[in-house]
Amino acid sequence: MRCVLFALFLVGAGTTIWAADSYTDAVSAVHRDDYDLAARLFRPLAEQGHAGAQSFLGILYANGQGVPQSHEEAAQWYQRAAQQGDAAAQFQLGVLCANGQGVPQNYEMAWQWYQRAADQGVVAAQFQLGVLHANGQGVPQNYEIAEQWYRRAADQGHARAQSHLGVLYARGQGLPKDYREAIQWYRRAAEQGDALAQFQLGVLYANGQGVPRSYKEAGRWYRRAADQGDAVAQFNLGVRYANGQGVPQNDELAGRWYRRAAQQGHARAQSNLGVLYANGQGVPKDMIRAYMWLTIAVEGSRGDDDGKPAIANQTIVASDLTAAQIEQAQEMARRCQESQFLECEPKEQVPGVVP
């Protein structure tokens, strides 16, 4: 009997060693970007119940790496790993639930999975719990609880949590309004490259909130956020160049930054770009293209107060156009929007690197 038990033990131990080696090889394949091999190695382990392999296989399906992209498959593998207590899978499953990818959108389920991952120390899950509590998604809106989760993540260096904590201080949500505290948290996030924090620092410097007013500093932080594609920062930077606040007045650069924001759907940037075309400021005068951008701005503003200047300027521009020209501009606007803003400008006007 002892021999049999010993033999069985050896088989079990051998299987465990083989599984560990295969898992290590699979992880190494991921690090080498050899996703086909990683998927082949992870799959048998995942089917045998290896939680780490199940979690990794979910990631490969979510990203379409080594396997066809499928959020449904990703969710299934995350679920199997999450139920075994795998913290990474619990977090990823929360993301899918929050976004409605591969599973029906369900913020309550997202909260549950984030909570389980956060309790195991997953910093990103702690941040996401703050987001759900701040927005009242899946749980009652509660800025005090949001602040607690943001702070836990922020204290561990999570840049976006630091940025969101700064927002709470700036707005006085869940804690007393304190621009100086907001500045500190924004700066910590901004120095890690967080575009939201960089933009918010620009706002506080422009308004002189928590720091002495400095349009130059505002422009510097707007520029850092704008270079990362933040549309609002791009618009604000355009305004600075148009008005010469903190930067030399330059209509051409204003137009370039408005254009970048406009091509991301920013309605006020679209409106301002239309005005530049109408006046020939920084761009060749083109009333038809002006009407095009103003039309897009009016549609994008959806009737809010930001749309009123666009409507007024559209009416002014229309008075200088024929019916045929207005129809041409409307067709250009349609083509621009249908192309996701890729076919809005003549080739010579498409910006390269903005100095």
Band of pLDDT at residue 318, cut at 50, 70 and 90? very high
Model pLDDT, residue 301: 85
C-beta separation of 209 from 179 below 8 A? yes
Query: Is the predicted pLDDT of residue 47 greater than 60, yes or no?
Result: yes
C-beta separation of 70 from 58 below 8 A? no
Residue 310 Cα distances to 27, 47, 76, 314, angstroms:
54, 59, 48, 6
Average pLDDT over residues 90-98: 98
350 Ramachandran zone, left/alpha/beta (phi>0; psi -120 to 50): beta
Query: Is the predicted pLDDT of residue 328 greater than 90, yes or no?
Result: yes
More confident call, 326 vs 302? 326
Query: Is the predicted pLDDT of residue 74 greater than 60, yes or no?
Result: yes
Model pLDDT, residue 109: 98
Query: pLDDT tens-digit profile of 133-180?
Result: 999 999 999 999 999 999 999 999 999 999 999 999 999 999 999 999
Query: pLDDT tens-digit profile of 172-206?
Result: 999 999 999 999 999 999 999 999 999 999 999 99
Model pLDDT, residue 192: 97
Model pLDDT, residue 72: 98
Q: How far apart are CA 248 and CA 260, in angstroms?
A: 19
Average pLDDT over residues 17-29: 80
Helices within the chain (DSSP H only): 2-31, 35-47, 51-63, 71-82, 87-99, 107-119, 123-135, 143-154, 159-171, 179-190, 195-207, 215-227, 231-243, 251-262, 267-279, 287-301, 307-318, 323-338
Model pLDDT, residue 173: 98
- CATH class of segment(s) 21-117: mainly alpha
Query: pLDDT tens-digit profile of 116-133?
Result: 999 999 999 999 999 999
Query: pLDDT tens-digit profile of 49-63?
Result: 999 999 999 999 999
Query: pLDDT tens-digit profile of 275-298?
Result: 999 999 999 999 999 999 999 999
Query: Is the predicted pLDDT of residue 230 greater than 60, yes or no?
Result: yes
Model pLDDT, residue 7: 32
Rg, C-alpha atoms of the chain: 27
Domain map of the chain by residue range? 21-117, 264-345
Half-sphere exposure of 183 (CA within 13 A, CB side): 17
More confident call, 169 vs 306? 169
Average pLDDT over residues 77-102: 98
